[in-house]
Structure 1
């Protein structure tokens, strides 16, 4: 089971800023532009070894720069299940604390008694600061938009009718959907062997600290990561790393469909107040 980034809970009282609005960075006039991308590890300077990983970066319908990760990385309940307008939970690049916060946590789902978060809504929304540059290219994976499954089963979080990107990849006998994932141990791929309400089970492995990290759909006929291509791959964003379970295979992922569906449902109920509403993966190189 992946570790929870409980240090962020302590950080919730560190950098309180009154008022709402876009995340602000201070004192960076002479700081080079910083690129933020999938598979970037984030942590708090007080506990650099308690980290999680970014799954996708892009923008929402309100022009905000957004990163998506796993909700169980936050832990705690004080700020769970609501929009966090205050800059009370800073997010730092684990390998560049000197830059300062790359963003602020804006939403995460309460674990609701589970060590790995709500079954279908285990995600976190981070609003990135204006100074960063979004990139679709991570260390191993290039994300080419978001996976769409027009004929797939709808996410349990979806409004009716569900959008194509809110529908799930099949895992039946005659389905051959595969995930390609990136984490500390490099890049891996594996077939989706089970789909339980948008939680994908796959042979693609991960380890502690990879929570929230990227998974893309392997487009049939496209190259697999290998020594010949520098162990790189590309495909549409399909989900984020969730946990290890007692099962075969033990690796599970939260589908992008579940995240996007819940964001749209919450945004429809409270327009303009939902960070991440209408999220789209960046096309920036």
Structure 2
């Protein structure tokens, strides 16, 4: 089972952060879904991918990726207020950090003990511009499923954003290294969607949107573009069929709300909304 784990040594990252302190203040650098990210400017492989970009209820500028992209037991499963874990655009590490990791699930927990909570919260720096438009996918808000089955992470009563897509009648459209793919949600175990929509190692954390019935699917005729509300992030390639797993946005948003309610000062990412910036 390929779980695509990236190793992050935070002690080394701190040194790299000091060295990158004079990062270019290129205002307007666009950060968007499907942007590939790394955690050291000297290591552009392995890498992960951004799944969604927006803001939280506290006004923080947020990007979301997969929790299993980082391994460091000293920082897992807690808020990281210090800038010890920078995140770089893989295609432009010279810019300096585009943001800093504020929370991630321990990879062992994410893949075994906490399979429904495999996510990472990144606070973006002021020098970047948030965008809802990735190379292939335009995200039109956050998926809401009125009356659907609640995520197992949802406090009661669950919000519409914390409810899950039904299997067999819904499609995911995903974006990664090999372009854009779509496939029916064939299984939903604990808010982890299984679909034939393909991904590769490095696509972890990348975007998945819901195919709105009646809207165009990506094709050569429309430049392989698609739009829809954010529905989740790439999680894993497994030995099951179909092999591709996606952590639902419902799971992530529900866990953020539950953690926020338990934290005296709140948590980064709570109340996340996808940016409306083009």
Q: TM-score range by the shorter chain?
A: over 0.9
CA distance in 2, matches of 1:35, 1:51: 19
Q: Is the 8 A contact 2:131 2:276 kept in 1?
A: yes
Does the CA-based 8 Å contact 2:89-2:97 persist in structure 1? yes
Which one is further off, 113-122 or 185-194? 113-122
Q: Which residue of 1 aligns with 2:32?
A: 37
Q: CA 1:266 to 1:192, structure 2 compared with 1: closer, same or farther past 3 Å?
A: same
Q: What's 2:79 paired with? A: 83
Preserved CA contact (<8 Å) 2:23 2:96: no
Does residue 126 of structure 2 align to residue 126 of structure 1? no
1:105-155 alpha-carbon deviations (Å, 9 max, x no partner) = 010012235657830000000000011100000000000001111111111
Instruction: State the distance in 2 between where 1:29 and 1:42 align.
Output: 17
Go from structure 1 to structure 2 and tell me whether the alpha carbon gap of 1:16 and 1:138 turns closer, same or farther (over 3 Å shift). closer
User: Helix, strand or coil for the counterpart of 2:148?
Assistant: coil
Give the number of equivalent residue pairs.
Answer: 275
Instruction: Tell me whether 75-84 or 198-207 shows the greater mean CA deviation.
Output: 75-84
8 Å CA contact 1:111–1:117 kept in 2: the answer is: no
Deviation at 1:77, TM superposition (A): 1.1
Paired with 1:184 and 1:91, the residues of 2 have a C-alpha distance of 19
TM-score relative to the length of structure 1:
0.92
Counterparts in 2 of 1:133-148, with a 5 A limit? Answer: 133-148=129-144
SS of equivalent residue, structure 1 residue 228: helix
Q: 1:114 to 1:264 in 2, by over 3 A?
A: closer
Tell me the equivalent position of 1:151: 147
SS of residue in 2 equivalent to 1:47: coil
Match of residue 108, structure 2, among 105, 109, 112: 112
Quote the residue 1:70 is aligned against: 66
Aligned to 1:20: none
Partner of 2:219: 226
**TM (normalized to structure 2)?**
0.94
Moved more, 200-209 or 25-34: 25-34
Query: Structure 1 residues 27 and 154, CA, compared in 2 at 3 Å: closer, same or farther?
Result: same
**SS of the residue 1:264 aligns to:** helix
Within a 5 Å distance, the mapping from 1:171-186 to structure 2 comes to 171=167, 175-186=168-179
Aligned with 1:259: secondary structure? helix
CA distance in 1, matches of 2:138, 2:266: 30
Q: Is the 8 A contact 1:15 1:89 kept in 2?
A: no
1:197 aligns with 2:190: yes
Q: 1:209 pairs with 193, 202, 209, which one?
A: 202
Aligned equivalent of 1:254? 247
- List runs of 5+ in structure 1 lacking aligned partners: 18-24
The Cα shift of 1:49 comes to 1.6
- Distance, in Å, in 2 between the alignment partners of 1:100 and 1:61 is 26
CA distance in 2, matches of 1:264, 1:244: 28
CA distance, structure 2, for counterparts of residue 8 and residue 144 of structure 1: 35
Equivalent-residue separation in structure 1 for 2:60 and 2:189 (angstroms): 31
Greater fraction helix: 2
Provide the rounded CA distance (Å) in 1 between the counterparts of 2:183 and 2:96. 36
Q: Is the 8 A contact 2:184 2:195 kept in 1?
A: yes
Shift of 1:176: 1.1
